[in-house]
Structures are given as C-alpha cells and as structure tokens.
A and B are shown apart, each in its own frame.
Chain A
Amino acid sequence: DGGITQSPKYLFRKEGQNVTLSCEQNLNHDAMYWYRQDPGQGLRLIYYSQIVNDFQKGDIAEGYSVSREKKESFPLTVTSAQKNPTAFYLCASSIPQFHGKLFFGSGTQLSVL
C-alpha cells in the first residue's frame, strides 16, 4: 500500500541530546513537509522540501534541521537547541496537481525525559 511511514511512534529525548524522526514515502511525491502539533494549537510548519537536495524553513524552524538526499525520505532532527521539543510531529507529502491536499503519516510523539 502506498503511503507515508513515520518512525518511531514514540520517542524520548534526554537533555542536550539530538534525536532524528524518520519519514519515508512511497507515493512518488516531490514535496514533503514537517509539521508540529501542540495541544490546543493547530499544526505549524517546521520545514518543507519541494525537490531532492533542496528545502526551506517554515514558520518554526529554529532548533530543527532536515535533509532530503532521496525523494522518498525526509528525516527531521530535533537538536539540543530546541528547548521545548515535546510535541506531536507529523510528516506529509503532496503533488502539485492536488493543491493543498496533504498526505499525512501517523505521527511521532516526542517527549523529554
């Protein structure tokens, strides 16, 4: 089945530690996105990539980094500079023909130990 796979489902970070969230898609979509979801807030865009080896900052990129070495993969690293990383992280993909239709993964819940 085509879709977006996020792993792990739950992740715990220690103080000062970098952690990486995985996002893989087999939909052959060019664009991929990372959103952060906090309780009582909507989704906020962290980073997005429209093509391999290129990505742009979203609204809340500070403390995060990404890479796009393959079309299928768009990992997100939460660095130690992100002081409030506890949140639910959603990865998504899209194609231009479906203006605004995002295909989402099932998310990763990140918590701080």
Chain B
Amino acid sequence: AQTVTQSQPEMSVQEAETVTLSCTYDTSESDYYLFWYKQPPSRQMILVIRQEAYKQQNATENRFSVNFQKAAKSFSLKISDSQLGDAAMYFCAYRSAKTGTASKLTFGTGTRLQVTL
C-alpha cells in the first residue's frame, strides 16, 4: 500500500516571502500522480497543483510550484510571494495510475501554514 508523509505539522511564512512544504511518499509503482490540495478555514478542499510521475518537468501554477524528485520519492510545494489568503492546511496526495477511472487518493496528514504580516 502507498503511504504519504508530511513531516511538518505547522509552518509559518511572512507575507511576500517564499515557503516550501515537504512531502515524501512510498510506492512500488512507476506510474502515478501527485497532488497538493489546500483546505482553507472554510474546510472546502481545493486542488492547488498536480504532477504526473512520467513527466520530468516540475509543475507550476502561478505562485505555486513543485520540486518532484522521483528517485527520492519527494514532492515539495513552493509558494512564492506568500499572501494572507494562502493560510490554510495543505495536503499532499497520491493516486496510482492503476485505479482506472476512479480517483482514489491517499492523503498525508497535512501541514498548517500560517502567513504573518
């Protein structure tokens, strides 16, 4: 079974600064997808960014980018120019490519990000 580990329960960043959230995962598969989801105080989960394991290029979405290290099974999220609205819980998640059409995700335990003035 796959596991996802987020070793930073809480992180803090000053507004306009850059922060990196860590995620490692364990799998024996070679084809899979990785995700970062954001859960703001409203508690409704939102997809931030997605990475396909077969792609070497790191995914980027505006101020959000990832550092995908397949051999090390590491998938960190970098948030640049942090904004107050970035304050949330961030979950790393894994999806096997073998699950067919079902998007069954395995989630990490989350990192709470605080953004200070």
Contacts and interface: CB of A to CB of B under 8 A. Distances in A.
B101 A42 contact: no
Contact of B44 (A40, A41, A45, A107): A107
B50 A100 contact: yes
B50 to A, nearest CB: 6
Given A90-B45, A104-B45, A40 B109 contact: yes
Nearest to A96: B101
B7 to A, nearest CB: 13
Interface string A84-113: 000010101010101111101111000000
A43 B102 contact: no
Interface in B88-105: 91, 93, 95, 97, 100-105
Given A99-B95, A100-B93, A50 B104 contact: no
A99 B106 CA distance: 13
Interface residues of B, number: 28
Which of A31, A42, A45, A102 is packed against the most chain B CB atoms within 10 Å? A42
Interface in A46-75: 48, 50, 56, 58
B4 A101 contact: no
B44 A105 contact: yes
Contacts of A92: 45
Interface of B: 4, 9, 33, 35, 37, 42-47, 50, 52, 91, 93, 95, 97, 100-110
Interface of A: 30-31, 33, 40-45, 48, 50, 56, 58, 88, 90, 92, 94, 96, 98-102, 104-107
